[in-house]
Structure 1
Amino acid sequence: MGNSGQTVQVGGMRRPRPLSPLREHLRDTFWFTPAAGLVGAMALATLVLALDSLLIEALQEDGEYGTVSSLIKLSEDAKSIITTVGSAMLTFIGVVFSISLVALQMASGQFTPRVVRLYVRSRITKCTFAVFLATFLFALLVQASYEGDADPRTVTTVPVISGLTCVVLVLVSLVLFVAYVNSTLRLMRVSHVIDRITREAFRVLDRYERGSGEAPALPEAVAEAEHQGAAGVLRDVHIARLVRIARRNGTVLRLVPRIGDFVVPGTPVLAVHGGTRPSPRALRHTMTVGVERTYHQDPAFGLRQLSDIALRALSPAVNDPTTAVQCLDRITQFLAAVVDRPFGVLHHRDAKGAVRLVQELPGWSDLVDLGFSEIRGCAVGNPQVSRRMLAALDDLWWLADDERRVPLARHRTLLTQAVERTAAEPADRAFALRPDRQGIG
């Protein structure tokens, strides 16, 4: 689109707020769950200490001083246990933190730096940190509530219920520690990492409605909304808010960049077609720009990560074609799932069915190129990879219609030509160009 239309500057993108759905943005942060655990620990400590006070008060009113004396003696033993728990939890936290750093370093170096997001989004890792920190804080608060008075007639609280609660928290922490170690070991195995990436990619597809394939007839563009925040990757847009804004102004908004594109200040991010242009204030906080791509609203990000892992595996430093074959398995699975989906643009409508927001999606050729182009360039000299790619192209050819077979035929031709140029012996060429779903099965 040219610059002849009017321009509306979208401010407020420098510090984006969490947008809809909020859960996705919180999953991309590591601080929220541990912080919630600390708040929960303070609330739980306040509650159980109040119950302890009510228990002692009820026993004193009934004249059960012998029972109170027994509880005071029992609390002395519990005090040593809780003190031990408080110091041990710090050690546990340090062990968990160390394991996390080692796992992140290995995953980033062996697979791709983009898989670090899997660890950040891991629920078991966040819950383990949250419960460990909560147990440590709870133990400190219980220790602070101990009284030096041993007279059963004047003591106001004896940490009985709080001591039992602390023991329960320790047991939960131990279970979570075992689950955390198991989860971390799984994420350090490439097969499980590839499987997690694939499942995340399919979740994105499930959130999207099917594209209509053809853009509606839009009125002439009357304005452009420029990005005025910091440069970064367009992570997602607040679809519901943009639809409401377009409906109030009687216009249709078109998202200029795709989700995952890098945008710089001054470039157009929204085109306004017809109606009245929205005010800059109304368009504030309608999109999130960050330093890296996310799964949320980005259907191609999963293929990007699978391709990166395959390229790292095929590098001379790693030389692991089996991992590249595993990535090709999942790339084929993803492309087979979208082979019959209409591509083009995605139309977001208001309650009355009118199109209010137009969003461009990656096309079939874009996804095929993303999944195969770079791996194809590194497949030469690796017959295991070339054979698996040819089998993948055969499977997709069988599923695709005539129009969508064009990029598949192009990749098959380019791969065949590359192998014929590099393999000197006819037998090697024939072997490398024989389709095999296991590579060399």
Structure 2
Amino acid sequence: MSDMVVARAPSLRMLLSRFRQHLRDTFWLAPALAMVGVFLIWLAAEELDSLIVEELKQGGELDMLVELQRFTDDAKGVVSTVSSAMMTFIGVVFSISLVAVQMASGQLTPRVVRLFVRSRITKATFAVFLATFVLTLLVLSSYDSAPDPSALVSVPLVQSVLTLLMVALSLLLFVLYVNATLRLMRVGHVVARIADEARRAMAHLPETTDRAAADAVPRSGVLVHEGRAGVLQGVDTARLVALARKHGTVLRVIPQIGDFLVPGTPLLAVPDGSTASPGSMRHLVSVGAERIVNSMDLGFGLRQLSDIALRALSPAVNDPTTAVQALDRTVQLLAVFSRMPLGAAVHRDRSSEVRLLQPLPTWTTLVDLGFAEVRVCCAGNPQVSRRVLAGLDDLLRVTPPDRHPPLRRHRELLSQNVGNAAQTDADREFALRPDRQGIG
């Protein structure tokens, strides 16, 4: 294995994944493309208007040309009004977005800002609004006020109709945008969307196994991270699998997706004698500023739900019903995780040979992530403690016996916490009565 060298160029799959992630997290691209697109459409519409005028002139239909000029003159007032009002309209919509983001991040968690940034309806609304504004400016420059119809070069008929259609589309998108924004401010919709994203990401999860299989791979040599510091968002598994297959070995990624890496962090277990340099790994990993929805990052959805519950239980917010709604989805995700092996993801080559292992959170880690912090904070809140107990009991019924210990441990710890916080035995008994709705 002494000639083993890690490839220095990222694979096409990795590049496309990074580019797709960048597009989802950017807000400027859709408006920019919309403005370029509407300019090209305007050029085609202007050419079509010129052809219409030329055909009417050649056919001697000057009366029809006069009627078209009257229609466009009437439409000019509407276009002028739209042009002057559209920027104000855009400012109002932008203000609504900022207020919605501020309220959601303050009452729920800053992690939900990502939902607003990635909202397709929000991007489409801003794109159409800006495109409509640009189109009105272009159309206004096309109006010809020549008194003699035979001297007209162009009558912006198609352009005027196109502007009116864009205005109608803008109004429709504004209604949809307001509806989508109001939904993103509702706790139930946000936690449901977080859970759905986590479940959809899990659909792309490869074969999994327990952590013992991953630990069995010899860690003879270690390749460290020498790129910029940040959160590990992804690994070029296709290139690593091809590399391991070429040399007939099994590689193991050391950190989990979602771990924060600094230069020198152990990154990949490789055979002894490998000539791979740490710098050669920078193209095989994707490092960013924050965690993203990833099929290998099983805990990110639970982390967001736990953050929402903790924020709701803080004295500043004091909203136990929101915590109960977050716990509903926490139980849902843990019920899904309970049916799969956890600890490591297995990547095979075309011959079905295991070539790469990636660490995943264990069942105990996921249970702790879902309940540990909430359990501590809910000791004096019977609505939440009752929901936690009901969730633990439901998970005890659906999980195999070997996964019961962490659930039973949290149940016992919650009983101790509630007992220490309760003023009377009656309060303790009431707070420890399982209830899926918290308190009815």
Could you state the TM-score of these two structures normalised by the residue count of structure 2? 0.91
**Which residue matches 1:424?**
423
Once residues 386 and 226 of structure 1 are traced to their aligned partners in structure 2, the CA distance between those partners, rounded to angstroms, is 44
The question of 1:172 aligning with 2:169 is answered yes
- Residues 215-252 of structure 1 show CA distances to partners (whole Å, capped at 9, x for unaligned) of 36976556543322221111222333443444455554
Q: 1:7 and 1:238, CA in 2 relative to 1: closer, same or farther beyond 3 A?
A: closer
Q: Which runs of 5+ in 1 are unaligned?
A: none
Once residues 422 and 216 of structure 1 are traced to their aligned partners in structure 2, the CA distance between those partners, rounded to angstroms, is 42
- Residues 392-415 of structure 1 show CA distances to partners (whole Å, capped at 9, x for unaligned) of 110000011111001001101111
The question of 1:40 aligning with 2:44 is answered no
Matched AA of 1:342: P
- CA shift, 1:107, in A, is 0.9
Q: 1:284 and 1:429, CA in 2 relative to 1: closer, same or farther beyond 3 A?
A: closer
Q: 1:112 and 1:72, CA in 2 relative to 1: closer, same or farther beyond 3 A?
A: same
- Residues 152-177 of structure 1 show CA distances to partners (whole Å, capped at 9, x for unaligned) of 33433221111111111111110110
Matched AA of 2:361: P
Q: 1:211 and 1:399, CA in 2 relative to 1: closer, same or farther beyond 3 A?
A: same
Could you state the TM-score of these two structures normalised by the residue count of structure 1? 0.91
The partner residue of 2:241 within 240, 243, 250 is 243
- Residues 136-160 of structure 1 show CA distances to partners (whole Å, capped at 9, x for unaligned) of 1111222223334454334332211
Look up the SS of the partner of 1:429 in the other structure: helix
The partner residue of 1:98 within 92, 95, 98 is 95
The partner residue of 2:223 within 222, 225, 228 is 225
Q: Contact 1:128–1:180 at 8 Å: present in 2 too? A: yes
Look up the SS of the partner of 1:404 in the other structure: helix
Q: Show the 5 A alignment for 1:288-367.
A: 288-297=286-295, 298-367=297-366
Matched AA of 1:425: T
Once residues 132 and 220 of structure 1 are traced to their aligned partners in structure 2, the CA distance between those partners, rounded to angstroms, is 58
Q: Contact 2:224–2:278 at 8 Å: present in 1 too? A: no
Once residues 247 and 145 of structure 1 are traced to their aligned partners in structure 2, the CA distance between those partners, rounded to angstroms, is 64
Once residues 378 and 161 of structure 1 are traced to their aligned partners in structure 2, the CA distance between those partners, rounded to angstroms, is 63
* C-alpha RMSD over aligned residues: 2.7
Q: Contact 1:251–1:276 at 8 Å: present in 2 too? A: no
- CA shift, 1:277, in A, is 5.3
The partner residue of 2:203 within 201, 206, 209 is 206
Q: Show the 5 A alignment for 1:12-51.
A: 19-20=16-17, 22-51=19-48
* Mean CA deviation greater in 39-48 or 170-179: 39-48
Matched AA of 1:226: V
Look up the SS of the partner of 1:36 in the other structure: helix
Once residues 102 and 392 of structure 2 are traced to their aligned partners in structure 1, the CA distance between those partners, rounded to angstroms, is 34
- CA shift, 1:112, in A, is 0.9
Q: Show the 5 A alignment for 1:55-134.
A: 55-134=52-131
- CA shift, 1:356, in A, is 3.0
Once residues 275 and 130 of structure 1 are traced to their aligned partners in structure 2, the CA distance between those partners, rounded to angstroms, is 54
Q: 1:335 and 1:353, CA in 2 relative to 1: closer, same or farther beyond 3 A?
A: same
Matched AA of 1:361: L
Look up the SS of the partner of 2:341 in the other structure: coil
- CA shift, 1:427, in A, is 1.3
Look up the SS of the partner of 1:407 in the other structure: helix
- Residues 114-143 of structure 1 show CA distances to partners (whole Å, capped at 9, x for unaligned) of 111111111111111111111111112222
Look up the SS of the partner of 2:93 in the other structure: helix
Look up the SS of the partner of 2:355 in the other structure: strand
**Which residue matches 1:368?**
367
Look up the SS of the partner of 1:295 in the other structure: coil
Once residues 230 and 184 of structure 1 are traced to their aligned partners in structure 2, the CA distance between those partners, rounded to angstroms, is 35
* Mean CA deviation greater in 310-319 or 40-49: 40-49
Q: 1:217 and 1:440, CA in 2 relative to 1: closer, same or farther beyond 3 A?
A: closer
**Which residue matches 2:190?**
193
How many residue pairs match? The answer is: 434
The question of 1:161 aligning with 2:158 is answered yes
Q: Contact 1:83–1:143 at 8 Å: present in 2 too? A: yes
**Which residue matches 1:265?**
263
Once residues 218 and 57 of structure 1 are traced to their aligned partners in structure 2, the CA distance between those partners, rounded to angstroms, is 80
Q: Contact 1:218–1:252 at 8 Å: present in 2 too? A: no
Matched AA of 1:290: G
Q: Which runs of 5+ in 2 are unaligned?
A: none
Percent identity for Structure 1 against Structure 2: 55
Once residues 50 and 275 of structure 1 are traced to their aligned partners in structure 2, the CA distance between those partners, rounded to angstroms, is 68
Q: Contact 1:419–1:432 at 8 Å: present in 2 too? A: yes
Q: 1:280 and 1:157, CA in 2 relative to 1: closer, same or farther beyond 3 A?
A: farther
- Residues 280-333 of structure 1 show CA distances to partners (whole Å, capped at 9, x for unaligned) of 786443322111111133221111011011111111111111111111111011
Once residues 327 and 218 of structure 2 are traced to their aligned partners in structure 1, the CA distance between those partners, rounded to angstroms, is 43
